[in-house]
Structure 1
């Protein structure tokens, strides 16, 4: 007869270590820090229970006494870096404060490049994530809108930042893998696009390209996108 499935549980409701015996040799903070070090240095693919155990100097099976699943290990990692969020006294200008939150989140993702891959609502209620949410709600106190709307704003802003950073990483990775220079790649694609536009089949694209807005400033684009998201919540009900 098949064994009974384990009862669902959140890692934060478990004691630091199950079972009897001597005082635990490691804390969850130790385990999370080891996993973060590995991910920062070698990428998320390098993070495994065996690898983290080796980093700590313990046996793999011993690690399962502290962290029963790899998904729990990921949650510990996300919570650990969430603790790096800057929490300040809100200024009273909710748009400025949320812009600051978004920029800080982007910087955090650039520091821990694996973080966008683990962003999930599932990890949104860990201890440090709760402190982050409480801080965001404090920043949004001047916005006269229901809490449900404020949560939508926070989620949308995080989604935009995560997507923007993921695209930055994808572009950088593709550039590194090119067999020629980025300038050659851009020239090749511009020549192809120019040929397609010259057919006359894309009049609106031709008009758009004729505007020639000049060089694209990624930082300015990021700022505009954030402001447009926030503008959408101005006067929200």
Structure 2
């Protein structure tokens, strides 16, 4: 500790005792503070989360909040851990590693849609909180039937989460544009379609014209998401077969 009482180096919030061994019970818990911060972020976005705002939400003074959460980065870590608690794990994996990972991916996408600020905080830095460790332990358990080394399994999880984060970020961005536009999504799409058809009719982009003309039409985002996950799993499954 420094002379000012601050730690001399960075601390992991989970290594810091939530309550001293002696003395009165704290007025608030980390779970309460995390829940308050999540409420603010869900309602106002991540930029709405400040120590002052969360202190007001929990009913304590801003300076008092620092006694529980020394840094804003710690607050973010508490928030991420709080939403990761929403994963529902069965008592044991099914034995079908692909099916179990796909079920986890669907849950990840659902969590990010319920809490649109989560993609901004996706980072390995927050990967070792209590609930994140539960997630990793279950995911590694589910992958016991995948015949690759543990490092490759970690790469698979990282790739899946990276793709889900990018995919959901695009979904959320599209939804936000639709929400803030004075026109309906159908009007916006009609205007853009008319524009691109005029451009392509000039013949300067024949490959684009052919691609759009032969395209699948209306896109089912759930099906596209499922195919993206399947293609990643296909690649790692093929690696396992080559190594066997």
Deviates more, 1:66-75 or 1:196-205: 196-205
Cα distance in 2 for partners of 1:231, 1:57 equals 50
1:34 counterpart (29, 33, 36)? 36
Q: Per-residue displacement from partner, 1:19-65 (whole Å, max 9, x unpaired)?
A: 97422222211211111122222322222111211222211111111
Deviates more, 1:16-25 or 1:202-211: 16-25
1:121 counterpart (124, 140, 159)? 124
Does residue 97 of structure 2 align to residue 94 of structure 1? yes
What's the offset of the Cα at 1:156? Answer: 0.7
* Aligned residue pair count: 236
Superposed counterparts of 1:131-210, under 5 Å? 131-210=134-213
CA 1:147–1:107 in structure 2 vs 1: closer, same or farther (change >3 Å)?
same
CA-based RMSD of the aligned residues comes to: 2.0
Aligned position for 1:229 = 232
Deviates more, 1:40-49 or 1:87-96: 40-49
CA 1:5–1:65 in structure 2 vs 1: closer, same or farther (change >3 Å)?
closer
2:79 counterpart (77, 80, 85)? 77
Cα distance in 1 for partners of 2:7, 2:81 equals 27
What's the offset of the Cα at 1:223? Answer: 0.8
Three-state SS of the structure 2 residue aligned to 1:84 is coil
Aligned position for 2:53 = 51
Aligned position for 1:66 = 68
Three-state SS of the structure 1 residue aligned to 2:236 is coil
Three-state SS of the structure 2 residue aligned to 1:140 is helix
CA 1:17–1:53 in structure 2 vs 1: closer, same or farther (change >3 Å)?
farther
Question: Which contiguous aligned blocks of 4+ residues in structure 1 show a shift greater than 6 angstroms?
Answer: none
Deviates more, 1:16-25 or 1:35-44: 16-25
Deviates more, 1:186-195 or 1:100-109: 186-195
Gaps of 5+ in 1: none
Deviates more, 1:48-57 or 1:163-172: 48-57
Cα distance in 2 for partners of 1:82, 1:186 equals 35
Cα distance in 2 for partners of 1:128, 1:208 equals 44
CA 1:168–1:99 in structure 2 vs 1: closer, same or farther (change >3 Å)?
same
Cα distance in 1 for partners of 2:26, 2:101 equals 40
What's the offset of the Cα at 1:211? Answer: 1.1
What's the offset of the Cα at 1:87? Answer: 1.2
TM-score, scaled to structure 1: 0.93
CA 1:6–1:20 in structure 2 vs 1: closer, same or farther (change >3 Å)?
farther
TM-score, scaled to structure 2: 0.90
Does residue 17 of structure 2 align to residue 15 of structure 1? yes
